Every structure is written in C-alpha cells, then in structure tokens.
Amino acid sequence: MKKDILFCLGILFLTGCSFNGEIKRSIHNENENPDSTSTQAAESTRTLVPTNLPVQLQILWISPAVPSELAQSAISSGISIAASPELATIRLDADKNMGGLNVGRSTWIYAFVAPFPSLQDGIKMEDLTLAWMGDATSSLSDSPVWMDGSTLAALTTLWGKPNPTFNVRIAQPEDILDSAWNVQPSFAIIPFEQIEPRWKVLSVDGQSPIRKDFNPETYPLKINFSLVGEAAQQLGVALPGSNRDPEKMTTLVMTGVTALVRATAYKMEIKGRTYPGEAMRDWLVNADITHISNEIPFAPECPYPELVNYTLFFCSNPLNIELLEYIGTDIIELTGNHFQDWGSAATLFTLDMYNQRRWPYFGGGANLEDARKPITLEHNGTKLAFIGCNPAGPDFAWATETEPGAAPCDWDWMKTELARLRAEGYLPIATFQYYEGYSVWPGPAQKADFQKMADAGAVIVSGSQAHLPMTMEFHNGSFIHYGLGNLFFDQMDYPGVGTGTRREFIDRHVFYNGKYINTELLTAMLEDYSRPRPMTEQEKLLFLSDIFEASGW
C-alpha cells in the first residue's frame, strides 16, 4: 500500500497538480418549494468544483447517492475526483449488483425518525416500501417523508423511483428537522450521523439504531456502498465499515424519586427485597450507566416499616440496598431533602455503603466540599459529568463544612462548575431536588433556574424531586425535563392529582462519539404501592399525549 501511495504522490509532484476536495450538491427540482412532492429529486446530481488536475488523474467518481460523510471520507484520502463516471477508474456508489470488482464495502445505517413529540413508536419496513410504491393501504401513505437528495438517490438505486403519490419531501440536511416539526405528523429518513435530540427515532421491524440490542445484520433500513473498478484494490482506498460503531455509543438512564419507605418497604419485607424492580429490571440493567436518586438514608436501627408515617421522617433497612444492586445501579444522586432525616450517623453509614460498592455519588456527601464534587467519567469516548443541588431544604438537610447532607444550591457555583466541565470536554448533566408543587407545569422560578443551567453548559437538566411527572422542553440545544415522577415510592394516589402519581418516566439518553444525540422516553405505571411496570400501549399513549400537550407541543 505504501508503494502505491508513493507512486501516486510522485505523479502529483511531477505534474505540479493540486487537489480541491470541495463538493457541492444541487437538487434538480423544477419546483423550488421544499414542500413539493415532486420526485424529480431522484435525478439529483453532484456538482463538482473544477480542479486543475489532468484528466488522467481524475480517478474517483462519487455517486449522488453517497451520503456526504462517506463522500468526505473518500475525498480525505487524497484521491482525485472525476467529473463523470466515464472518466473514472473507480466509482463509489450504492452497492446493488454493480458488477466489476467491488471492494471497500461500507454499510450505512439510516434512521426513520419523527419530531420528538410523535406518539408513534415504530413502523414495519413493508409499510415503507408499500408507500414508496404508491400503495394507499400503507399507514405512511398520507404523511410527508423528508429526506435529502443523496438519501433519495440511494433509495431510488435500491427500490426504483418512488411512485408520484408517495409524499416525499426534499430538503437540505440542515433544514429537514425544522421542516418536519413545522408539518406534523411528519417523518424523515436520515443517516445515523444526523440523529439529534429533537428527533424521535422510530424502530423499523422492532429495531432501533439507538438501542444497544440493535442488530445491523437484520436491520432493513441500511444501504451498502462500495468502490468499483480494477484500480480500487491497487489504490487501497479505505472506507469506514459503517457510520454506526457500537463501541462509540453510551446509554444513560435517569430516574426519579426512590424512597424505600412506608408501603414500599413493607412490600419488600413480605415479598422480597427485589420485588419492586422485577418488572423494570431490563430497562435499568441494560443501560451503560444507571442513575438512581435515593432520597432515604439506610440506618441499622431503622424500625419495621409502617404503612403510614405521618412524621415524614424516613429511614430504610440496610438490607434494602439489595434492590439497588439488583437493578444495576451505577451512580447515586443525593440531592434529596430526606437524606438527613435519621441524623448524621445514618447519613455517613449510607455513604459508606455506597463506597463499599464503588458507587460514586453526587449532589450530597460527607460535608459541603464532598457534596459539591461532580462525578466525572468516560465511556466509549464520551466524557460525562453529573452535578446536582437542593434549593428547597429544609436547612437541616443541607451539608455544611462539617456535617453531611445534600448540596445546597449556589447558582453562581453551579454555573461556574458547568462552564469548567464543558471546557474540559465533559457533557454535564445537572439535577435538582427542586420545590415540589404536584403540578405538571414548572413555575416561573423553576423554569428560569433550569434554563440557566442549560445556558451554562448542561446538555441535560433533570428534576429529581417530582412525585408527579412534569413537562419537558428543548432549550438552547439542551434537553430539560422538569420532573420524572417516582421510581420506587408508594404513592398510588395523592390529593388533588388522583392517580397521576402512578405515572413514571425513565429517560434513556443516548450519546455517540462524544455527543448527546437523543433521548428515548420509557414510561411505567406503579402497581401494588411498590412495583412499577412498563405501561400498556394505551396507557403510554394517554400519558404522552397529556405531557406533550402540557409541554406546548
């Protein structure tokens, strides 16, 4: 390979040529309105910037079907670009029985997406291909499906031109997201690398590329691209094997209130320590990082649980930590306002239990300095940081210079820390034990405080205080969820909100190659005062409809 590269470099030196790798796309479409359903975009062409290379050195032609990231990968190898396939000795194109010598195959994963507040979870590949062919029985026959010119060209290579009745909409990659949000219900087909938080990634035949159990071998929405031509092997052009590498992905699940007290603790005594987590375990243990916000201290002298505790001073049997082990806990949040309920000795005892299990904690600690320390970690190339505080009190719950407790909120300190962490390459997650209001809507103060953290650099801002699930929003590129609801707590109902406290969110955040790319909302329903289970489809539909409407979506 080195000899071949030196040979090519020698030719370039002798001819005094330079390479201009810039590529521009032009979409051939008589109707300039991006809402046009015209399929003439299938004739998309790639316009090449003229270079001063001799014809004999223009060796690679890149098909209009090739996604921009793959095209740039080929160009970055320094190979000259041909203005047409006839002038090329090598072609990079969608791989569909192109003939000749095919090398350097790259499998490109595409995602079928919708705006984040979509209520649809997935599609069948058959529905998509039927809609493409113009079959009115397809569930996708009426909604627009957005894509860029290269995606349309690639799919056309595989499936033929779409039927004129298929509601395809063509836009530049940077415009597709806003276009889809502006016309709902709406869908899009995008390369995996274009996934971002305001999309909802829908499964295709039960598979989603943002999940850890994704199998690219059986996933249908993918396209192979290959280098074709006798000269391909001699030049040794290296293409990426795929645009999705599982070794670059990290999943994080964030949860709401855990309080192993009252009826929840009683159920654990009579039905087993792991009983509350048995229906939800897979969601929690399968994440790379599982966050638990445990508000309650463990205490050796904790009395047998009472079904009703009117004092609201809580402790938990140390044996109950088996539940946290069972669900795969990785990090512990300690911003809760009950953390000091049983006194400093119990709080320090609890911290020691976490340390023995090597569970890092944040938002609380042995003293103020310890409570303010963020967790920092790195997984699969993504650096994450967790920082939290408690603005609500009461005073005795807060850590001091000499006593343990939750970190009190100092907004200037939080903003400074977030900026520092972001500057060091971390993606910060900020959490709060905010004032509890039993409302799905945040008050003006909560909204302002959470948005300040996003503005300071937090990519995710999460409310850990809410017993009633709350609204969410995207702000300045960050995802804000004002309250997730309970995880393990016995509130089957509450005055004024009825059974709304049974509803629960678990937020599964996805990071890829050092970027926050998406959030998947997992929904649960509390049973038996202790044991959440995945919602039924009807329960989930009603729950998300309520929250999305309240969120202004």
Residue 323 pLDDT: 99
Residue 237 pLDDT: 65
Look at the chain and count its residues: 553
Residues 446 and 434 sit within 8 Å (Cβ to Cβ):
yes
Does residue 231 have a pLDDT over 60? Answer: yes
Q: Are strands 331-333 and 257-258 parallel, antiparallel or unpaired?
A: unpaired
Residue appearing with tokens 């034990």: 433
Is residue 38 very low, low, confident or very high in pLDDT (cuts 50, 70, 90)? Answer: very low
Residue 314 pLDDT: 97
Mapped onto helix, strand or coil, the DSSP state of residue 147 is: strand
Q: Report how far residue 135's alpha carbon sits from residue 129's, in angstroms, rounded to the nearest whole number.
A: 9
Residues 476 and 450 sit within 8 Å (Cβ to Cβ):
no
Domain spans, the chain: 2-107+225-243, 109-210, 250-550
Does residue 12 have a pLDDT over 60? Answer: no
Q: Are strands 427-432 and 382-389 parallel, antiparallel or unpaired?
A: parallel
Does residue 299 have a pLDDT over 70? Answer: yes
Three-class SS string for 120-146? CCEECHHHHHHHHCCCCCCCCCCCCEE
Does residue 452 have a pLDDT over 60? Answer: yes
Q: Report how far residue 271's alpha carbon sits from residue 275's, in angstroms, rounded to the nearest whole number.
A: 6
Q: Report how far residue 225's alpha carbon sits from residue 365's, in angstroms, rounded to the nearest whole number.
A: 53
Q: b/e string for 190-224 if b means 16 or more Cβ within 10 A?
A: bbbbbbbbbbbbbbbeebbbbbeebeeeebebbbe
| Average pLDDT value over all residues in the chain | 89
Q: Report how far residue 383's alpha carbon sits from residue 240's, in angstroms, rounded to the nearest whole number.
A: 24
Residue appearing with tokens 């079907």: 65
Does residue 23 have a pLDDT over 60? Answer: no
> How far apart, in Å, do the first and last CA atoms of the chain sit?
55
- Cα atoms in the 13 Å half-sphere on the side-chain side of 32: 0
- For the domain with range 109-210, which CATH number is right: 3.40.190.10, 1.10.3660.10, 3.40.640.10, 3.10.20.30? 3.40.190.10
> To the nearest whole percent, how much of the chain has pLDDT over 70?
87
Q: Which CATH code for domain 250-550?
A: 3.60.21.10
Q: In this structure, which amino acid lies at residue 427?
A: L
pTM above 0.75, yes or no: yes
Query: 29 or 153, which is more confident?
Result: 153
Q: Report how far residue 321's alpha carbon sits from residue 311's, in angstroms, rounded to the nearest whole number.
A: 23
Q: Report how far residue 146's alpha carbon sits from residue 150's, in angstroms, rounded to the nearest whole number.
A: 12
Residue 471 pLDDT: 99
pLDDT (average), residues 515-537: 99
Residues 170 and 29 sit within 8 Å (Cβ to Cβ):
yes
- Evaluate whether 109-210 and 250-550 have a shared fold: no
Residue-wise pLDDT for 192-227, tens only, equals 999 999 999 999 999 999 999 999 999 999 999 998
Q: Report how far residue 170's alpha carbon sits from residue 175's, in angstroms, rounded to the nearest whole number.
A: 10
The torsion region of residue 10 among left (phi > 0), alpha (psi -120 to 50) and beta comes to alpha
> What are the contacts of 521-528 at 24+ separation with CB within 8 A?
522/253, 522/283, 524/280, 526/486, 526/489, 526/491, 526/492, 526/501, 526/502, 527/279, 528/267
Residue 235 pLDDT: 63
Residue 83 pLDDT: 85
Residue 95 pLDDT: 86
Residue appearing with tokens 């709060």: 432
Tokens of 514: 């050092």
Residue-wise pLDDT for 375-431, tens only, equals 999 999 999 999 999 999 999 999 999 999 999 999 999 999 999 999 999 999 999
E strands, 317-419, are 331-333, 361-362, 364-365, 375-379, 382-389, 405-406
Mapped onto helix, strand or coil, the DSSP state of residue 309 is: coil
Tokens of 28: 């051939």
Mapped onto helix, strand or coil, the DSSP state of residue 374 is: coil
